[in-house]
Structure 1
Amino acid sequence: MTSRTLHLTGNPEADELLAADGNALLLGMVLDQQVPMEKAFAGPAVLAERMGTPGRIDVPGIAFMNADEFAELCARRPAVHRFPGAMAKRLQGVCQALVERYDGSAVELWSTADSGEELLRRIGDLPGFGAQKAAIFVALLGKQYDVTPPGWREAAGKYGESDSRRSVADVVDARSLDEVRATKKAVKAAAKASATD
């Protein structure tokens, strides 16, 4: 068991799974879209429980499960995500990529990356990871998961800055969560204001 502590869900057991299981952390990041961060990162614990593997994510089990059955598992109330069908496909795609390329292990994905640039590329090659999400995940790995290949901060861009409060990578407690929310709100307001100019 790892000694790292994460504070992403408000649920100690869900946070413990994220800290101990790199696959759970990666799948939480997949789910971190159009739902509150806490719900997204609690999703892996819900999946593990529903699959009968509490305490770990069964990547091959997800990768090879019948797609309709997995979609039903994700949609079961309370649904794992606001869009359970679309996210079920994305989660299965990520698990399939992990099985095909990294022996079913997200840790293998990042522990064998020689540089931040390679880490960013590997993450960006996964289903559902655009440039911004990949950069945020590099920052999360570096800041909270001790994954720091050379150049990781540069690869993470603005999200890698040590004093930022821009993303999930910077959430370490309730106060920092509030600060990240405030930053996101300000960015959205600025974008909306510039769009109407």
Structure 2
Amino acid sequence: MTLNLPIDAEANKLLQRSPLALLVGMILDQQFPLERAFSAPYELSLRLGHEPTAEELADFDPEALTAVFATPPALHRFPKAMAARVQEACRIVVDTYGGEAETIWSTAGDGKELFKRVSSLPGFGKQKAQIFVALLGKRFGVRPEGWREAAGAYGPDDAYKSVADIVDAAALVKVREYKQQAKAAAKAAAAAKG
């Protein structure tokens, strides 16, 4: 079980060792290439000169954090909104989970509780929460009872529908193909209603 994204090796290592970095990457994985979203925590640490803590990001001056996110190349296509979302998530991590992002998942009693906790984070709707539960289960061994059910369609080992399934270049191709097919199907459905 490893997370092996097509990004800088140091960025991959940071995601492996830092639950906060993993959470930030997942927050940023929205309307943005996944390679850039999951590289952003490493880039953020380079810009700050160290790996930030949840407390540091929660207490950061909002305008200054937006400036860090917006510095070219921006950490997201919507730097102000995503800097605010990351900061809000860090406040939850500090206030509810003692400043440790990993506590969100390490103390969940079962898959339903894990899904509920993840769903309560800013920017995590049902689909994104299911993907994160699948990512935690498949790549990080976070497997409370019922985790696959909580991950929905993203839970099976052979789903190839999200970042949770990317272990090599071939898996990345399968995930991209699935996303293209899903997008085309949604477009066709919208046109049929039209």
Q: What TM-score comes out, normalization by structure 2 length?
A: 0.96
The alignment covers a number of residue pairs equal to 192
Give the superposed CA RMSD: 1.0
For residue 26 of structure 1, what is the amino acid of its counterpart? L
The 8 Å contact of residues 9 and 37 in structure 1, kept in 2 or not, is answered as: no
Q: Is the aligned partner of 1:19 residue 2:26?
A: no
The CA deviation at 1:194 is 1.6
2:117 corresponds to which residue? 122
CA distance in 1, matches of 2:3, 2:160: 16
The CA deviation at 1:184 is 0.5
Task: Determine which of 61, 65, 71 is the counterpart of 2:56.
Answer: 61
SS of the residue aligned with 1:114?
coil
Task: Determine which of 59, 73, 76 is the counterpart of 2:71.
Answer: 76
Q: Indicate the larger mover: 142-151 or 42-51.
A: 42-51
The CA deviation at 1:154 is 0.2
Q: Describe the superposition over 1:84-115 as per-residue Cα deviations: whole angstroms up to 9, x where unpaired.
A: 01100000001110000111111111100000
1:176 corresponds to which residue? 171
The CA deviation at 1:180 is 0.1
1:144 corresponds to which residue? 139
Q: Whose RCO is larger (CA < 8 A, sep 6+)?
A: 2
The CA deviation at 1:9 is 4.1
The 8 Å contact of residues 141 and 147 in structure 1, kept in 2 or not, is answered as: yes
SS of the residue aligned with 1:106?
coil
Structure 1 residue ranges, 4+ long, deviating more than 3 angstroms after superposition: none
TM alignment of 1:180-195, pairs within 5 A: 180-195=175-190
SS of the residue aligned with 2:102?
helix
CA distance in 2, matches of 1:163, 1:34: 24
Q: What TM-score comes out, normalization by structure 1 length?
A: 0.95
2:41 corresponds to which residue? 44
1:134 corresponds to which residue? 129
CA distance in 1, matches of 2:189, 2:57: 42
Q: Is the aligned partner of 1:94 residue 2:85?
A: no
CA distance in 1, matches of 2:53, 2:43: 12
Give the gaps of 5 or more residues in structure 2.
none
